[in-house]
Structure 1
Amino acid sequence: MTNTLDALTPAFAPFAARWDAEADRRAKLRTPEHLKALMDAQRAHNSARSTAARAQSQRAAARKESKNPFGTARRAAATADRAARQHKSETKTALKGARRDYPVTLGTLAVRTHTLHVVTSSAASWLLSSSHDLTTWPLLASAGLVGLNAVGLGLGRRKLSVQLDDGLSLEERQLVERLDPAYWVAHAADRGLSGTVTTPPQVTPGGIRCNVRLDGAWTTKALKDKTDNIRSLLGARTALRIRITAGTRGGWAVITLATRQATDGTSSLWTPDMIPADPGLMCIGLDTETGELVFVPFDERLLVSGASGTGKSWSVRVLLATAHLRGDLLFIDGKGEEANVWERVCRVAVETDEIAAAIDEAHAEMGRRKADMKRRGISVWDGRQLTVMIDEGQVVLAAIAKDKDRLQKLIELSSLGRSRGVVLWWATQYPVTDGTPGVHKLIAPNLLTRFSLRVAGTTQAQVALDDCAHYAPHQIPDGKQWRGHGYLKGYGPRLIRTWTLDDDGVRALPARYWKASAPATPVMVEPAEDKPAPLTNRDRVLAAVRDGARTPKDVTEATGLNKGTVSRELKALTEAGTVRRADKGLEVAA
């Protein structure tokens, strides 16, 4: 049964592709603005119809009252009637345009069409029937059409997975046959592709790859504009990614069909032993077309962009772990959720006062290193790298928006810190520099290494990848299987699947907390079974309350923590029932 269905699927794929394309077009037109315009047009047309009916009635009454066709009353009524009918015609035309701009969904249109067919078929069946012979063929034909439509869509949308003797799936077999020069040349003209000639396609670990010769006035850009024509010629699924790039020499282009990924069957889980031996590089993931490791500079400023739900936090974790194990890490988390995992491992800043203090200390460390470099007569810092990670950038910028001095320190960290071993990494869901920015317009130009998962649109893509925005990160498919997939600026428009690090993996990292006044080489605190786990901020707050601190101020003085940290930890302890507020102040619950 599966083989039979897979054999039928290619024949129905173009039908399903056209259906899905039309359904998507209609869905995109159904915006709130178009709905408002349709409702306004309907109201205007109903009002015009009412006015026209009233004017027609008044004209008929005027005719009855006066026999003189040139009388003032009759001429006025006639003029009003003509104006009302003209206005009615204009509003009807406007209503038709509004309906085109806000069409019904394709499913609703299909239901209405089949309903009309059933009604008319039933009437025809009744009219053609006799007392002894009931003609039911129109009704059966309507039901058959409904079933055929549903079956066609189901078959056309099936994803083929059956492997043939040559290792190709049925979908790949069909695509390879249609990319063959003999088939392509015979059918290209029908799809507006006359003047292009393919070479025999190759099946690679990343999908099907085929060179195309461009004759006459054809260019790679012109061929890209014909992507929908190519999809129709090949009968490819709507969801199948088709990438068209320039060839190795002029007059040639390359079509890549992502029917498979080189990363299929490869675990995405990252472990510390995967850190490259070269201290100047870190691995961000795997090329989905070749399966090769993809590296980025470790000591370069970095911008990571990705809309909510694209796997940005998981992808960044691997980079943070590399920075933590190789040097010092200062994690400024604007949202706070990710810091819940990292606070047991490294220095984190979540509350506004913590963020301000972290920026001040990082800037002061940059100044201290400058003085040390001048004293030793060196131009590049030769000690441990301090990585300052900011996530989410929009929240952090909003927190210090009115503090021009602190914002200037952040800008200087991005522009001056690299040579002094203080490297800024920036992550944001909103890669825009205007309005409510996700990255400041004076910081973004300094972040030369850029990686982008799926973003909202072309504006975000321009900031996310700069002059490589044509990779189109906003067109990465939306789905769980595409989380953690993105493009690296300058690497080429090939998707990269990033590594992932779960919560347990983060907690297994050795704990080390950076402070501006710490020695140049802090001591690593390796977890061991015979050593107690390091005290957390929550443990310190609880111990202070147990020792007699009765107010948040007392706890702050006893622990030396920031007021925001004390407030957050007290709230958590109170909600958990560990600490309660009594008449005399804070106390540990019995």
Structure 2
Amino acid sequence: MDLKAVSTKIAEPTKSAFVTITNTLDVMAPTMAPFAARWDAEADRRAKLRTPENLRALMDAQKAHNSARSTAASARAQRTAARAASKNPLSTGRRAARTADKAARTHRESAKVALKAARKNYPTTLKVRAIQAHAVHAVPASVTSWWLSTAQDWTFWPASVSAGLMTFNAAALWIGRRKAAVEVEDGLSAEERQLVERLDPSYWVQHAEERGLGGTVTTPAEVTSGGIRCDVRLDGKWTVKELAAQVDRIRALLGARTALRIRVTSGPRGGWAVLALATRSAADGVSSRWTPERMPADPLMMSLGLDTETGDEVLVPFDERLLVSGASGTGKSWSTRPLMATAHLRGDLLLIDGKGEEANIWEAVCRVAVEGGEIADAIDEAWDEMNRRKRDMKARKISVWDGRQLTVVIDEGQVVLANLKLDKSDEGKARMQRLIELSSLGRSRGVVLWWATQYPVTDGAAPGVHQLIAPNLLTRFSLRVAGTTQAQVALDDCAHYAPQQIPEDRAHRGHGYLKGYGPRMIRTWTLDDDGVRALPARHWQPVVFKAPAEPAPLRLVKGEDYVIAPPAAAVPAQPKAQPTNREKVAAAIAAGSKSVADVALVTGINKGSVSKAVKSLVDAKQIVRAEDGSLSVATQAGEVSA
């Protein structure tokens, strides 16, 4: 005989019955939980009131009440005796006895009130109170039933009913206090185990009411590569928006750490929400380093990064205008570099760097503009290129540019706008308008504007993006920003993604939200300095054509043959060389500027660079500095020109 098989066969039904009972109790626990919670709350309240001080006050109140009752009884007896001794109600004895009786009764009532208050402050335990209540029901009812019934009718006594009720109450308390054993997956961290257990419906329903979340019921949690997810049923007047506003209460109910990101979104159908806890990142284990192999096969798309919840690669349009926002230290420059590298490899790149640090890396790779004059020239040339392409498209009868894309990247838009505002001349105002037109008209002509700023605001004394440019930047990516005002500009109608709540720790640098993608965080690719230097060098310059030479006039020569030669073909001119700071300063002085400040204002070069250029020109005797400090151009004979 196989004893092991026999033992297994005998144990199987027992095990099955045990599992069935356990599952039944788990289902009943949420139903009994409110009763047990109210019972325990009342029992705790009574236990906290049963202090030695309140007991002493109760004993004193009982003693005072007994004394007052004795005094009242004596006064009543004396009043009865005085009434018997004299028939005159106005006699001194009867009036004194009546006054004493009234005072004693008043004292007895006040002592009774004080005793009632003392008993309330030192209540009996809830268990004793329940036994007393059942006794009050059972004893008189049992006596009455025995007195009015015969022996044949004693099958259903009130005492048995009370005993049954007491048993039911005890069972309800035990089931309501019961904590369901939740099975969780292997490989979970201690934090995830706790969160999964507390998201289980048996725990959630039992404790949701005390946290102000009554009327919500969770489903068993699911652990994914991006963290923990579960559905939440919304009963009564609950909505997804109202539940999302209660994230702090959800965090308290789950006992989650403050830095853990908790997100509430709409469910697949009405009356349901989805609760997501970012305990994991699907991007973990995947290198964030960008290489040219990361460029998508689709030439109209480029890779931004990885979805931290699903691990999917996130693509954005290559030929769309872009706004990148992020406070200092959030990894904005490193996150933008892979996009710039894609634009450089696929077309032409023009970097207008208001701060200058990023241009130090890119100046050997692409065309950069840092100083005021360089920025002005870059904007003018990009605008001229946009209009040249317009004329070319009209001549070729096409509506969309089919050549190389020129991507104009403005890094730290706040500084660039501030420099343009300093130029109060008509040319300065025209240059601002050209920048606005680049954002609104350039896309169809293959000139695309990308804007990056630490200050995504459109108003105030120092806006990070112009109020007429921001509406044209349809693709928006935001790292952590300072507050809700910046988030509104950074993500527009998707500001509820709350980029201002991204943790400030180093692990979340380069993490942000993409407008329209959903409130799922994206970890961007990064490109270090060596990766930028490894890119092929190609510096964009505007295409300049010379006007075709006019053909010579036709002449008729008598008696001789002649041939009409075709007009000469247009020959593209060489790109014009950029003037140096010294040449700009000399030209400004020749135009009438008399001081360093005037030259700096006209050329857009900072005063320190202007002073160096002036000193060099004075040493070369190309300009002369008068005694009053005014500057003028020196003539060949050494005299000062008028």
Aligned CA distance change for structure 1 residues 379 and 363 (closer, same or farther; 3 Å) = same
- Name the residue aligned to 2:396: 376
Q: 1:422 aligns with which of 418, 427, 447?
A: 447
Per the alignment, in what secondary structure is the counterpart of residue 338 of structure 1?
A: helix
Aligned pair 1:279/2:299, yes or no?
A: yes
Please, what TM-score do these two structures have when normalized by structure 1? 0.62
Deviation of the 1:517 alpha carbon: 2.0
1:138-166 Cα distance to aligned partner (Å, 9 max, x none): xxxxxxxxxxxxxxxxxxxxxxxxxx980
1:517 is aligned, of 543, 550, 553, to 543
Amino acid at match of 2:216: T
Determine the C-alpha separation between the residues in 2 that align with 1:385 and 1:438.
Answer: 25
Query: 1:257 aligned to 277, 281, 286, which one?
Result: 277
Of 235, 246, 259, the residue aligned with 1:226 is 246
Note the 1:232-381 alignment, pairs <5 A.
232-381=252-401
**Residue of structure 2 equivalent to 1:78:** none
- Confirm or deny: 8 A CA contact 1:179 1:198 kept in the other structure: yes
Counterpart in the other structure of 1:443: 469
Do structure 1's residue 195 and structure 2's residue 215 form an aligned pair? yes
Equivalent residue runs for 1:550-561 within 5 Å: none
* Matches of 2:396 and 2:338, distance apart in 1: 34
Per-residue deviation, residues 183-206 of structure 1 (Å, max 9, x unmatched): 111111111111111111000111
Q: Say which SS state the counterpart of residue 462 (structure 1) adopts.
A: helix
CA distance in 2, matches of 1:478, 1:572: 43
Q: How much has 1:419 moved relative to structure 2?
A: 0.4
Q: Which residue of 1 aligns with 2:640?
A: none
Aligned length: 389
Equivalent-residue separation in structure 1 for 2:512 and 2:329 (angstroms): 13
CA deviation after TM superposition for structure 1 residue 213, in Å = 0.5
Does the CA contact (< 8 Å) of 2:216 and 2:234 recur in 1? yes
* Residue type at the aligned position of 2:480: R
The 8 Å contact of residues 552 and 566 in structure 1, kept in 2 or not, is answered as no
Is 1:412–2:437 an aligned residue pair?
yes
Aligned to 1:400: 420
Do residues 475 (structure 1) and 501 (structure 2) align? Answer: yes
- Deviation >2 Å, runs of 4+: 549-554, 562-573, 580-586
What is the CA-CA distance between 1:570 and the residue it aligns to?
A: 11
Q: What are the within-5 Å matches in structure 2 for residues 444-459 of structure 1?
A: 444-459=470-485
Letter in 2 for 1:333: D
Counterparts of residues 554-573 of structure 1 (less than 5 Å): none
Shift of 1:565: 8.8
Q: Which of these two proteins has the greater Rg computed from alpha carbons?
A: 2
Q: How does 1:22-101 map to 2 (within 5 A)?
A: none
Q: Which has the higher contact order (CA 8 A, sep 6+)?
A: 1
Contact 1:551 1:585 in 2 (8 A): no
Task: In structure 2, give the amino acid aligned to 1:460.
Answer: Q
Asked whether 1:205 is paired with 2:225, we answer yes
Question: SS in structure 1 opposite 2:357?
Answer: coil
SS at 1:237 equivalent: coil
CA contact 2:584–2:603 (8 Å) conserved in 1: no
Q: 1:216 Cα shift?
A: 0.8
Counting only pairs closer than 5 Å after superposition, residues 32-181 of structure 1 correspond to structure 2 as 166-181=186-201
Aligned ranges for residues 522-533 of structure 1 at < 5 Å? none
1:420-465 CA distance string (max 9 Å, x none): 0000010010000101211111110000000000111111100000
Indicate the residue corresponding to 2:71 in structure 1.
none
Counterpart Cα distance in 1 of 2:458 and 2:398: 35
Is the 2:386–2:447 Cα contact (8 Å) retained in structure 1? yes
> SS of the counterpart of 1:193?
coil
One-letter amino acid matched to 1:400: L
3-state DSSP class of the match of 1:211?
strand
Distance 1:194 1:358 in 2: 61
Q: Which residue of 2 aligns with 1:502?
A: 528
1:224 Cα deviation (Å)? 1.2
Report the CA distance between 1:567 and its aligned residue.
10
Q: CA deviation at 1:480?
A: 1.1
Q: Which amino acid aligns with 1:215?
A: D
Q: For residues 606 and 367 of structure 2, what CA distance do their matches in structure 1 show?
A: 15
Structure 1 Cα separation of the partners of residues 603 and 252 of structure 2 = 63
In structure 2, relative to structure 1, the CA distance for the partners of 1:286 and 1:568 (3 Å cut) is farther
> 2 CA distance for matches of 1:497 and 1:192?
35
Residue equivalent to 2:160 = none
Once the two structures are TM-superposed, the CA of residue 568 in structure 1 deviates from its matched residue by 9.3
Per the alignment, do residues 288 and 568 of structure 1 end up closer, same or farther by CA in structure 2, a change over 3 Å counting? farther
Q: Whole-Å Cα distance in 2 between the matches of residues 455 and 552 of structure 1?
A: 40
Looking at structure 2, the residues matched to 289 and 355 of structure 1 have their Cα atoms a distance apart, in angstroms, of 41
Q: For residues 583 and 326 of structure 2, what CA distance do their matches in structure 1 show?
A: 44
Q: Secondary structure at the match of 1:314?
A: helix
Partner of 2:458 in structure 1? 433
Q: Percent identity?
A: 73
In 2, Cα distance between equivalents of 1:452 and 1:273:
25
| Superposition CA RMSD, Å | 3.1
Deviation at 1:273, TM superposition (A): 1.3
Question: For residues 571 and 515 of structure 1, do their structure 2 counterparts lie closer, same or farther at Cα, with a shift above 3 Å needed?
Answer: farther
* Offset of residue 238 of structure 1: 1.0
Aligned residue identity for 2:384: A
Counterpart amino acid of 1:432?
V
Matched, 1:184 2:204: yes
The reply on whether 1:217 has 2:237 as its aligned counterpart is: yes
